Amino acid sequence: MKKNNKKSVYIALAADSIHHGHMNLIEVGRKYGEIIIGLITDSAIAEYKRIPYLNFNQRKKILSNLRGVSKVVPQNEYDYSKNISKLKPDYMIHGDDWKYGKEKSLRVNALKALKKYGGKLIEIPYTKGISSDALTKFHNLSLVTPDSRRGMLRRLLEIKKISRFIEAHSPISALIGENISITKKGKNLTFDGFWSSSLTDSTSMGKPDNEYVDNTLRLNGINNIFDVTSKPLIFDGDTGGKKEHFDMKIRSIERLGISAVIIEDKTGLKKNSLHKNTSNQTQENADIFAEKISIGKKAQSSDDFMIIARIESFILNKDVKDAMRRAKKYVEAGADGIMIHSKSKKPNEVFSFSRQFRKLFKNIPLIGVPSSYNHVTEKQLAQNGFNVVIYANHMLRASYPAMVKVAGEILRNGRSKESDKKLMSINEILNLIPGTK
C-alpha cells in the first residue's frame, strides 16, 4: 500500500518490555499512515496485573522515538473503545490473537466504536514465541536494584487504590509471594510486596517477639530474600530501638533496598501487640517518639525511602482522640505514613480513626493490619481510606500446622507413606528452584 501520511493509525500497547512483536505492529502501521500509540497507563495495568517495570513516562519516551509514531496518548483502561471514539483513527491495528480468549470482548467493543464512523480494523498474525509478560518477569528479576526496588512502594501508592503486602520470613515463603497469581474476573491478582514481620522473623528462629532478634540478623535474612525476588518490602522495625542508634539503623535498612520501615510508639521491653492482655506494655511519650521519627528522616539519603509511624493507642486501650493526637504529631515530625493497629475483632476503632485521619490528611498513606478483624475485605479497607493492607503473619501460621501434622503422622505410622498426599512430590521440589536438577 502507498504511504499516506494524512491517515491515522491507532495501536494500543503496554510496551513494558518492547520486542519484535511490537515492531511488527509498528511496521504495518507505518504503511497505513501516522501512528498514534494508545499507551496503557500504569493504573490501568495495575488493575489487571503487576505494575509495569517501566513507568508511563519511561515507556512513552521509548515509543515516541520510534519511526512512524506521531504521538503517544494515554489509554486509561484496557478497553480501546473510548480512545477510538475520541480520536477516530482511520485504522486500528491489533494482533489477531484477540479473536479468541479473554480479549474477545475488547475486540467486539473496538469494532463497535470503529463502525460508528467508518474506521477499519487491521489484524496481523500474532508474533509467536515471544511473551511480553515473560519478558517483564525476567526484567523484574534480573534488573532489580536496591534503588529500583525501594522506589516501588511510592509507585504503588501513586498507582493503586490499595496495595497488598504478604508476610515473608524466608526466601521460600517470599518466593510464594513473588510468584503466586490467580485470575478473578479477568484480572490477574498478585501480591504487591512483602512484610518483614518481627513476630514471624523471631518465631521462625525460635525466639520471642521482643526485639531480641536484632537488626543485623533480620537484615541478613532480607538480603537472602532479595537475592531471589523483585518485589518491594516493608520492614517491621519494632520500636526503632534507641534514638541514638536510629540514624545508623535507617541507613542500613535503606541501603538494602527496603522501601519503608514501620516503627511503633512503644517503650520498654517490646511485646507483641496482639496479646489479649497488654497491661505490661507501655506507649512512648508522643513527643519523644516524634523526635525519633525526625532523626530517621534526617538520616535517610534517598527521597523514596519511607518512615511510617505505627500508633498503638488502641492496642493499649486508649481512644481515637489519643490516636489522632499522636497522628498529628508524627506527621508533623515527618512521618511518611501512618499504620493504625488494633487487636479488636471488629474494625470499628480503626475505621473511626481512618475517617478522622482522612479529613485532616488527604494524601498521607494509611496502613492497616487486619489480623484480628480479618473478615474485613481489601475493598472495605480501601473505602475507609486505607492504602496498604498487610497480611502480617499468614505464611508462617500456614506452614507450622502443616509441619506439625506431618511430623506427628510419621511418628504414629512409623513411616512417611501416609503423609505423602499432604506433601509436594519429590519431582515438584526438584523442579521448584531452577538449577536444582
Closer of 89 and 240 to Mg ion (Cβ): 240
DSSP H/E element including 196: strand 193-196
Footprint of ligand SPV on 378-437 (CB under 6 A)? 392-393
By CB under 6 A, residue 197 contacts ligand SPV = yes
End-to-end CA distance of the chain: 52
By CB under 6 A, residue 173 contacts ligand SPV = no
Catalytic residue from among 16, 90, 201, 209: 209
**Burial track 164-177 (b if 16+ CB lie within 10 A, e otherwise):** bbbbbbbbebbbeb
201 is catalytic: no
Options 19-27, 104-112, 192-200, 400-408: segment touching ligand SPV (CB under 6 A)? 192-200
By CB under 6 A, residue 222 contacts ligand SPV = no
- State the binding string over 348-377 for ligand SPV (x if CB under 6 A, else -): ---------------------x-x------
> From the CB of 383, what's the least distance to ligand SPV, in Å?
22
Residue 302: closest CA among 256, 338, 262, 362: 256
89 with 119: CB under 8 angstroms? yes
Site size toward ligand SPV (CB under 6 A) is: 11
Binding partner of residue 393 among Mg ion, ligand SPV, none, CB cut-off 5 to 8 Å per kind: ligand SPV
Closer of 56 and 235 to Mg ion (Cβ): 235
Q: Which triple of cell numbers denotes residue 351?
A: 475505621
> Which residues fall within 8 angstroms of residue 16, CB to CB, at 6 or more apart?
45, 52, 53, 54, 59, 132, 135, 136, 139
Residue nearest ligand SPV (C-beta atom)? 197
- Cα 196 from chain centre: 14
**How would you classify the pairing of strands 8-13 and 366-368?**
unpaired
Residues that bind Mg ion (CB under 5 A): 198-199, 236
By CB under 6 A, residue 281 contacts ligand SPV = no
The whole-angstrom separation of Cα 200 and Cα 198 is 6
Options 89-97, 125-133, 194-202, 358-366: segment touching ligand SPV (CB under 6 A)? 194-202
The whole-angstrom separation of Cα 165 and Cα 370 is 12
Q: Which triple of cell numbers denotes residue 367?
A: 496502613
Question: Catalytic site residues?
Answer: 209
Footprint of ligand SPV (CB under 6 A): 197-199, 236, 272-274, 369, 371, 392-393
